[in-house]
Amino acid sequence: MQKYLPITLNSLRPDTIINCDVYLLVNVNGASRYILYCKGNSVFENNKIELLVRKNINRLFIVRDDQQKYFEYLESNFQNIMSDERIHPDERAQIVHSAATNLVKDVFKDPRTGNIERAKKFAYNMVDCVLRNGEASFSLLRIAKHEYYTYTHSVNVAAMGTLFAKNLGFSENDLGPFCTGTLLHDLGKIKISPNILNKNGRLTEEEFETVKKHPELGVNILKETGNGFKDEYTIILQHHENCDGTGYPYGLKKSEIHSIGRVARIIDIYDALTTKRAYSYAQTPYDALSIIKDEMSDAVDRVLFKQFIKFLGGYGW
């Protein structure tokens, strides 16, 4: 028996080919049935959208097995979706977050060159959105997922980190690599046993030593694809380095840590604290900032941290 997943009409662009069949859920003689509305290899014409709008229908369906095709469609139409002011900013951001999370899953499942390039393209599109659509960018913060999974954490860090980097005055040329690096910052974890990563409790010293290898493992994976990254490597290597030298993998001190690494460190800590983990509850933004200030002030760049507090305050947090 086929299983169907809901999608929003607003995620579909007029006069495009979606590459998966689209269905309506209708009531026929008292029974609910899924009726084919547009075949995946046909153009989803504007008149089909207008008809649904007139009937106040915004929820459509796809077959569960076609979910990957749908997410790839969202990726390829990212710019058009994010520039469509008819869609509420929160809904636009939700579409972006779901597509980005699926993309990170694909990269982690198979970090070949094609998927890495998809991630880079998506990151640069996200930067373009952040630079040109402030309201939609704000929504990227509000819809951040608060259940901790490596995929959602990566998307949260990339979205928030890019917004903060923009706030700090990063140029457009710097924001692209920064967003890509933060999106892929935990890639090395695919080389670490899920039993360690998802352990419900304190890691043993040996297990923690294994986890500490993930920044270098991530860079090694990317280098194997021959992508020619530079700043992205720095972010991946340094997102766990602390200004007081207690971080890993190299135990660098503040003057030895690149500014993009120090920015990534703050965002990584903050998102980890504000999302629910197997062994801890999600902290409120205020409590998370208090923990960093009271317990980790030597680990983070204090000047950048003060700017981060002001940055969050500007969004009403």
For 147, phi and psi rounded to 5 degrees? -100, 130
Cα separation, 224 vs 208, whole angstroms: 25
Residue 121 designated active-site: no
Angle between helices 302-314 and 150-168 (to 10 degrees): 90
The per-residue b/e assignment along 233-256, b for 16 or more CB within 10 angstroms, e otherwise, is bbbbbbbbbbbeeebbbeebebee
Q: Say if residue 219 is exposed, middle or buried (CB neighbours under 10 Å; 0-12, 13-18, 19+).
A: buried
- Reported as half-sphere exposure (CB side, CA atoms, 13 A), residue 125 has a value of 21
Q: What is the largest CA-CA distance in the chain?
A: 72
The residue among 172, 202, 208, 171 whose CA lies nearest residue 277 is: 202
Cα separation, 189 vs 176, whole angstroms: 23
Cα separation, 124 vs 232, whole angstroms: 13
Given the residues 105, 120, 166, 189, the one annotated as active site: 189
Cα separation, 136 vs 202, whole angstroms: 38
Report the number of secondary-structure helices (H) and strands (E) in the chain.
Answer: 15, 6
Task: Write out the catalytic residue numbers.
Answer: 189
